[in-house]
Amino acid sequence: MSGVKSWKAWIFTLGTEVVSGRVVNTNAAYLGRRLTLLGFNVLGVVSLIDDVNLISEFISYVLASKPDLLVTTGGLGPTYDDVTLEAVAKALRVELRLNEEALKSIKEKYDVLKLPLTPERVKMAYMPEGGEVIPNNVGTAPGCMVRSGETLIISLPGVPRELESMWESYVEPRLRELGVRRVFAERSFTVSGVPESSAAKIVKELLRKYDNAYIKTHPKGHEISAPLLEVYVQVFSDDLSTAEKTADEVLEELKKGLESVGGVIAGSEVR
C-alpha cells in the first residue's frame, strides 16, 4: 500500500549443528512466517557455524543496510560454542557486560535445583552493553534485545520450544508496539478429546484454503490420556470487516472439523 513503511527484517539461525544438517532448521520457517504475518518484509535467512568472527562479520554486513529488525537464534547457552552475544557485541563495537537482571533470573532457576552459579551458568548473563533481558519461562538462558541505530536486534535461544514461547509471550507483543501490524481479527476456543496430532490435519487443510489465516493449537493436556487444546485463529486483511468475516468462517469450519473427530468445543472467544 502506498504511504506505508516497508519494515525490513533479517533472520540469523546460528549453530554448527544447524549448518551441518544434524538439526533441522525449523526456527527459520517459524520466524519467517511470524514476521511476514506481522507485516515485515523478510529479506533473508543466514545460517552460520558457531564462530564469533564469522557471525560478527555477517551481522555487520547486514547492519550496513539498516534493516528495522535482525533476529538471531541459537548460541545463548553455557557451553564453549555459545558465542552469539559475543558476536553481536563485536559487531556493534560495544563491551559484553554482566547483566544483573539476567543473572538474577538464572540464579533463581538454579536455586530451585540447589545448584551453584558456576562460571558456565554465569556466562549466560553476559550481554552486549545496553542489552535488555527477554524472559525465558521455559529454559534457563534469557534472550537479549539491543538497538543499533535504526535496527532492533533480538537474540533468542535455538531450542524451538523456548524460542516460540519467548516470541509469542514477549517479543511479538513488543514488535506490535512498533506499528508494523496489519488489520487482523482473532478468535480462540478450547477443544477436548482431540489429540494435537489429529487436529493437525484439519488445520493444515484449512490453511491451504485460507492463505491469510494463522491457526495455532496449544496443548494444555496430555496428548494420549487427556487431550485438551487451546485453538487460536488469526486472520489478516486490508480491512477489518473482511478480516472479521473470514475469521468467523475459519472458526466455524475448524470447529466442525474437530467435532467430526470427536472433539468437544468450549470457551469460544472473540477478540
Each of the 271 residues of the chain gets a pLDDT tens digit; together they read 333 466 899 999 999 999 999 999 999 999 998 997 787 889 999 999 999 999 999 999 999 999 999 999 999 999 999 999 999 999 999 999 999 999 999 999 999 999 999 999 999 999 999 999 999 999 999 999 999 999 999 999 999 999 999 999 999 999 988 877 566 788 999 999 999 999 999 999 999 999 888 899 999 989 889 999 999 998 877 677 888 999 999 999 999 999 999 999 987 666 5
Nearest to 150 by CA among 55, 8, 3, 4: 8
- Give ranges for CATH 3.30.70.600 in the chain: 183-270
| pLDDT value of residue 124 | 98
CATH of 183-270, one of 3.40.50.150, 3.40.50.720, 3.60.20.10, 3.30.70.600: 3.30.70.600
- Give ranges for CATH 3.40.980.10 in the chain: 7-176
| pLDDT value of residue 179 | 78
| pLDDT value of residue 2 | 32
| pLDDT value of residue 33 | 85
| pLDDT value of residue 62 | 98
Provide the grid cell at 83: 558465542
Looking at domain 7-176, what is its CATH homologous superfamily? MoaB/Mog-like domain (3.40.980.10)
